[in-house]
Amino acid sequence: MSVRPAWMEKPGPLTLAAKGIALVAVLALVLVPFLIVISTSLASPEQVIENGGWVLWPTELSFGGYREILSGGLVTKAMLVSVGITVAGTAISLGCTVMFAYTLSRPGIYGGKPILLLVLFTFLFPPGMIPSYLVVKELGLLNSFASLILPVAISVFNLIVMRGFFQSIPKELYEAAHLDGASEWKILVRIVLPLSKAVVAVIGLFYAVTYWNSWFQAMLYLDDSAKWPLQLILRTYVVAGAQIADPSLGQVAMKSAPQTIQMAVVVLAVIPILIVYPFIQRHFVKGMLAGAIKS
């Protein structure tokens, strides 16, 4: 008679209780800080001051913080800049990564191995801040939106992941397409990409989150605050408190508490990702599982 492994046995009451307590603790660690952020952004200045700067549950809802940060136009403009950079950057990065990964995944490509070694070298030894700045300066990209996209257009990690996925596609499909007279471009568009929707969605999500959360490149390359993305504005609010430099209004004094202003900007920065993620969650899970199985 074979003995079933311990993990296949039905858990006892103590085990179920321990799992329930652990789940509740993890949920509390995740949800309570998020609740504090939202509650503080909606609390009145008096309650924020009374509670020492952080509110767990507002007794009176106040949208004054949102009205103040949106009325000046700086945050609204920064949101549009972030959306534009995220959409354009994700499209450019995804297109370049797909074509580059497909090229490196095909056997017999002239110079494929040396190029792959160079790519891996940049992954192991990334350039520093000063060399990157000098390159951007010499290319004339300073104080332009291109400086936020082109220097980081291709992520080596995403490239290697996508290349491995393309290599896992059966070679018989490539051979059959070549026998039918299909070019490499047609093979990529009509065969490879339809089979790679999940991994393309995962890589696209990685790029979108990276562009949306990026602020360091903007701080280095953009001198005009009117071109700043939302994340750099958020950093300015957090560092400068309730005082923020608006090019058109100068120094604008906020009537709400500094913590309310900061948390309101945090909420505005998080909402787009929360809206987009549920629509691609199915592809994300499928792509991660496919990558784990095929690799």
Banded model confidence at residue 249, pLDDT cuts 50, 70, 90? very low
% pLDDT > 70, the chain: 84
pLDDT at 96: 94
Using the predicted structure, report yes or no on whether residue 89 has a pLDDT greater than 90.
Answer: yes
Rounded distance, CA 188 to CA 174, Å? 10
What is residue 250's predicted lDDT score, i.e. its pLDDT?
41
pLDDT digits (tens, 9 = 90+) for 131-176: 888 989 998 888 899 999 998 899 998 998 888 888 888 888 888 8
| Confidence band for 292, pLDDT divided at 50, 70 and 90 | very low
- Give the pLDDT band (50/70/90) at residue 248: very low
| Whether residue 294 has pLDDT greater than 50 | no
pLDDT above 60 (res 243)? no
What is the pLDDT at residue 289?
53
Model confidence pLDDT, tens digit, residues 91-121 = 999 999 999 999 988 887 787 788 888 888 8
Q: Enter the DSSP assignment of 128.
A: -
What value, to the nearest 5°, has the Cα angle with vertex 90 and ends 203 and 238?
Answer: 100
Q: Is the pLDDT of residue 283 over 70?
A: no
Burial of 54 (0-12, 13-18, 19+ CB in 10 A): middle
pLDDT tops 80 at residue 73: no
The CA–CA distances, whole Å, from 272 to 82, 102, 212, 268 equal 10, 31, 9, 8
pTM summary value: 0.77
**pLDDT tens digits, 42-56:** 888 778 877 777 788
Higher per-residue pLDDT: 127 or 148: 148
Is the per-residue pLDDT at 291 higher than 50? no
Of 26 and 288, which is predicted with more confidence? Answer: 26
CB atoms within 10 A of CB 128: 8
pLDDT in tens, 217-239: 888 898 888 888 988 888 877 76
